[in-house]
Structure 1
Amino acid sequence: MHSLYIVVDRLEDWAPYYPSSDLVTVEAYLTLPESKKAGKTQVINLCRDYDYLGTGYYCSLLAEARGQRVIPSIRSINDLANHHYYRLYDNNLDKYLGKYPAGYGQPDTEYFGIKIFFGRVSYPPLEKLARRLFELYPSPILNVEFKRGERWEIVGITPGNLAELNENEQNQFAEAIDAYSRKIWRKPRSRKRFRFEMAILYNPQEEFPPSDTKALKNFIKAGNDLGLDVDLIDKNDFARLLEYDALFIRETTAIDHHTYRFAKRAESEGLVVLDDPDSILKCANKVFLADLLSAHGVPTPKTQLIIRDKPLDFDELEQSFGYPLVLKIPHGSFSRGVVKAHGREELENQCRELFKESAILLVQEYVLTDYDWRIGFLNNRPIYACKYFMARGHWQIYNHSSDKAKGKSGGFETLAVHEVPKDVVKTAAKAVKLIGDGFYGVDMKQIAGRNVIIEINDNPSIDSGVEDDYLGEDLYRIIMEEFVRRLERKHSAYA
């Protein structure tokens, strides 16, 4: 059974290239017999016409209907038809252009264009831009036009036509499709014992990663045992998402970040993904979480929003919260962007500094405890529990207050879920249901008979010897089993 179809309108469009058994006309592809439609198949759609209801459009449409992976996808075709809105996808795209790229065209040129082949371009200064455009619009050939005003900017992005390439461009295309196809289908056929392919997105340079190296190896082993072929990928592997059936993000997430773009694209391509983009949106911003939890009666420390452009009533804040009080930026993680103020002068100074990062801050009552609870949930079921103790001589789990203490954290105690007070688990479960059915870590404190939610993490830590201290290898297996369950459910729906 074919694992690849290269689809063209006419066989002569492929005449400049080596013959390929994977080559089919669009007519032959659209009328494939049922026996050749099933299975894991990649489709490279090189039709001349991607217009709505054109042959290229129908090629991608039926590929997706058959459960095949196609480039360009229907989403990419539609996005390219509305390329003037590209800034909605990446408002900083023009930063890759910089000044006029020296050496490209003539110095007095007001317009110029490039062709991008599977994310590759022949002009090195525009390589980063080419990769980013391919991430936004995965398509075999992209024509990009530029215009110079006060600075260079993109004025057109359209899909390219294989039949219109000159000899030099044909050579570039041949090299690009060869590299792209080898990258996607480079795995030996002997590895068929795996039912599904999974990517784990990680950052080997991250200071506080959600999972350490040993934990990542444990995830891979657990996945292999369950029939998952697991690869580690990083931010440079965006174009490889079509290789996989599932994406597991093990890098600290944020909205204005490649992790969110990976999650969004994976979801749109039908992959099973944790963290899903909706969970990232809900959990990544403490302002949203505070309002969500308050609206549903989930207990939290006393909290108030303050706005940069609105005059602050410090007297009212002091009367309402007293000292010390806590200030938080909405998007901090691992105790970053969370500070304590002991008096008026310190409060004013901290507000001034934090408002440089965010237009909105949270003021929160100071809750002193020896430890925070972390209850891990997967598919709305608690699967592990930890106590995270405060860093020595500090009021937070992580101490970022000085270079000497930087990165130091407190101890921990891992427990069985049934050893946790029932009211703690019950409160955490109530909060998680407001987010979704993904993988979350709920941080809580117990004070004076109250259980209060501090935050909900969409990307909770799983480190070897910490969160797995009670369950061991079973914790990794539980998480990977959920991926398998979702994959089997998804694929049974297509059967």
Structure 2
Amino acid sequence: MSRLVIVVEKASDWGSYYPSDNVVTAMDYLREPVGGEERTHVVNLCRSYKYLGTGYYVSLLGEARGHRVIPSVRTINDLRKRALYGLDVEDLNQKLANFLPAGGRDTTDLGILVYFGETSYPALKDLARQVFELFPCPLLRIEFERERVWRISAIKPIGLHTLDDPQEDAFAQSLDAFSKKLWRKPRARRQYRYDLAMLVDPEEAMPPSDRKALKSFIAAGKEIGIEVDPIGKNDYTRLAEYDGLFIRETTALDHHTYRFAHKAEREGMVVIDDPTSILRCTNKIYLHDLLRSRKLAVPRTEILYKDDPRQLKELPERLGLPMVLKIPDGSFSRGVVKVDSVEALEKAAAELFQSTALVIAQEFLYTEYDWRVGVLNHEALYACQYFMSRGHWQIYNHGAKGSAKSGGFKTLPVREAPAEVIKLALKATQPIGDGLYGVDIKQTKDRVVVIEVNDNPSVDAGVEDAYLGEDLYRRIMEEFLRRMQRKRLGVA
């Protein structure tokens, strides 16, 4: 199991708590490395993290020894840069209004303590967690000030020795909860060579993998020595204990999935979806420019600007009717509208512009089905035909009563799919990366065009695996194994 080492600057700083073999002084830690071959987590509780001070060196040398240290040197450096947090915080006024005691509306500055992302003030719990995710540090004081609106004025690490009795109790509870996450169970899992976190959301309405597929990923990993551990969005602080991260939750840039990917990459983990792929795929306008710059075939497309009504009037002549309007970051056919008239175009554009400054417009290409080619590390894994939902022009019909309805599918061996479809799919992923992608392609009588590239493609039991079966999951896990082995060997 992981070993936890708590480093204090002076032994007296731990005086209010029970003695523990896990607690060492900073000088003892610096003079004599601890942890051995075990995976070691270090909680650095030094009084100060000033540059080249004792606390700074605890984190610096801990990282050099391969220990997982909180706070990291990067966090220590980031906390000195006020520009990183001197910004208005969305909804902060309302949250602080709920937090302030009666009669305290004239307050212009205040602060809260945060222990491992937890605070004793319910109205600010989400904010405390978000700050901890940005600056993972055991003890933080967040200070606020109000001029016209509330804003964070400072985020400061504080020393354990500064806490009073109630604060010491709150810190002890948070440390206990934090350490239990690190020690969450005895590691029978050491029989496995590698540990892979699989980020999932059991409550997601349309997840990229259903429960049966997730179980198949876990079973495939087990066969080759990888323990695949499902985690959720509240397990952000646990990421460092894994060798890799596999995101099986719909991704977005303004979402915890991107924060997880970014943190995992910073920790040197193998990541699919990596943050660069999320960036390049989740925004359709960015993706369109990327594909067009590589001279790949795409539908005729125009980017619409909210403040340019003349462009909207000229659009039917340029793209014809019907046409399709899309918000930049929609998924599973959401945020996509087909318009058949000028009036419908104006109405749909006005509605979409309420949530985005730019809208993508494309010519409408009718096909009975779309191709989806699964690509991993520049090799095609599977080829599916996704048929349009009955009586609808899209694969998913979100206007159906009850839940969204989808059309049928047909999964083929890659060798039986049209060569031009597979070739275009592989070309489309080249400028994006070497991860796992789903390339959506339309094939008409005279054209083959890329609709989009998905960084988080669907892998559902009985659909994408209909031809390869369990071998599909094994091939994906084998790619994780290959990459984790190279990481461990220090091979780029």
| TM band (smaller chain) | over 0.9
Please say if residues 203 and 234 of structure 1, whose CA atoms lie closer than 8 Å, have aligned partners that are also in contact.
yes
Change (3 A) 1:103 1:243: farther
Q: For 1:329-348, list aligned pairs within 5 A.
A: 329-348=327-346
1:429 aligns with 2:410: no
**Cα distance in 1 for residues equivalent to 2:157 and 2:103:** 22
TM-score if structure 2 supplies the norm length?
A: 0.94
Provide the rounded CA distance (Å) in 2 between the counterparts of 1:95 and 1:271: 37
Q: Which moved more, 1:50-59 or 1:329-338?
A: 50-59
**4+ runs of 1 displaced by more than 4 Å?**
35-38, 104-109
Match of 1:62 in 2: 61
Aligned equivalent of 1:187, options 182, 185, 207: 185
In 2, distance between residues paired with 1:360 and 1:153? Answer: 29
Are residues 378 and 32 of structure 1, via their aligned partners in 2, closer, same or farther at CA, if it must alter by over 3 Å? farther
Alignment of 1:298-317 (within 5 A): 298-314=296-312, 316-317=314-315
**Contact 2:145/2:153 (<8 A) preserved:** yes
Structure 1 residue 85: Cα displacement: 2.1
Task: Tell me whether 93-102 or 368-377 shows the greater mean CA deviation.
Answer: 93-102
Deviation at 1:134, TM superposition (A): 1.3
**Could you give the per-residue CA deviations for residues 311-336 of structure 1, whole angstroms, max 9, x where no partner exists?**
32455322222211111111111111
1:174-323 to 2 correspondences below 5 Å: 174-314=172-312, 316-323=314-321
Q: Is the Cα contact below 8 Å between 2:98 and 2:123 reproduced in 1?
A: no
1:486 matched to 2:476? The reply is no
Partner of 2:8: 8
Whether the 8 Å CA contact 1:99–1:151 is kept in 2: the answer is no
Aligned-residue offset at 1:265 = 1.5
CA distance in 2, matches of 1:405, 1:322: 33
Q: Are 1:87 and 1:93, in contact at CA under 8 Å, matched by a contact in 2?
A: no
For residues 80 and 227 of structure 1, what CA distance do their matches in structure 2 show? 39
| Change in 2 beyond 3 A, CA 1:185/1:2 | closer
Does the CA contact (< 8 Å) of 1:279 and 1:435 recur in 2? yes
Going from structure 1 to structure 2, the CA distance change for 1:419 and 1:104 (only over 3 Å counts) comes to: farther
* Equivalent of 1:118 in 116, 119, 136: 116
Deviations 1:326-370 (A, max 9, x none): 111111111111111112111111111111121111121111111
Deviation at 1:150, TM superposition (A): 4.3
- The C-alpha deviation readout for 1:257-278, integer Å capped at 9, x for no partner, is 1111111122112222111111
Matched letter for residue 258 of structure 1: H
One-letter amino acid of the structure 2 residue matched with residue 452 of structure 1: V
What whole-Å deviation, never above 9, does each CA across 1:179-213 have from its counterpart, x for those lacking one? 11012112113332122222211122211110111
CA offsets per residue over residues 97-126 of structure 1, 9 Å max, x none? 341514489665443322111112223332
Q: Which residue of 1 aligns with 2:437?
A: 440
Q: Which residue of 2 aligns with 1:154?
A: 152
Question: Structure 2 matches for 1:392-407, cutoff 5 A?
Answer: 392-400=390-398, 402-404=399-401, 406-407=403-404
2:16 partner amino acid: P
Aligned residue pairs, count: 492
User: Contact 1:37–1:66 (CA<8 Å) still a contact in 2?
Assistant: no
CA RMSD of aligned residues (A): 2.2
Alpha-carbon contact 1:113-1:146 (below 8 Å) kept: yes
What corresponds to 1:79 in structure 2? 78
Gaps spanning 5+ residues in structure 2: where?
none
Inter-partner Cα distance in structure 1 for 2:222 and 2:459? 18
Conserved in 2, the CA contact under 8 Å of 1:118 and 1:141?
yes
TM-superposed CA distance for 1:309, in Å, is 0.7
Larger deviation, residues 2-11 vs 175-184? 2-11
Q: 1:290 to 1:190 in 2, by over 3 A?
A: closer
CA distance in structure 1 between the aligned counterparts of 2:392 and 2:330, rounded to whole angstroms: 18
CA distances 1:282-313 after superposition (whole Å, capped 9, x unpaired): 00111111111111111011111121111324
Find the partner of 2:465 among 463, 468, 477.
Answer: 468
Maintained 8 Å contact 2:321/2:339: yes
Query: Counterpart of 2:31?
Result: 31
Distance verdict in 2 for CA 1:95–1:72, change over 3 Å: farther
Which residue does 1:17 correspond to in 2?
17
* 1:392-443 deviation digits (Å, cap 9, x = unpaired): 111110112x342751000001111111122211111111011001111000
**8 Å contact from structure 2 (residues 3, 35) kept in 1:** no
What residue identity is the alignment partner of 1:357?
S
Structure 2 counterparts to residues 123-138 of structure 1, below 5 A:
123-138=121-136
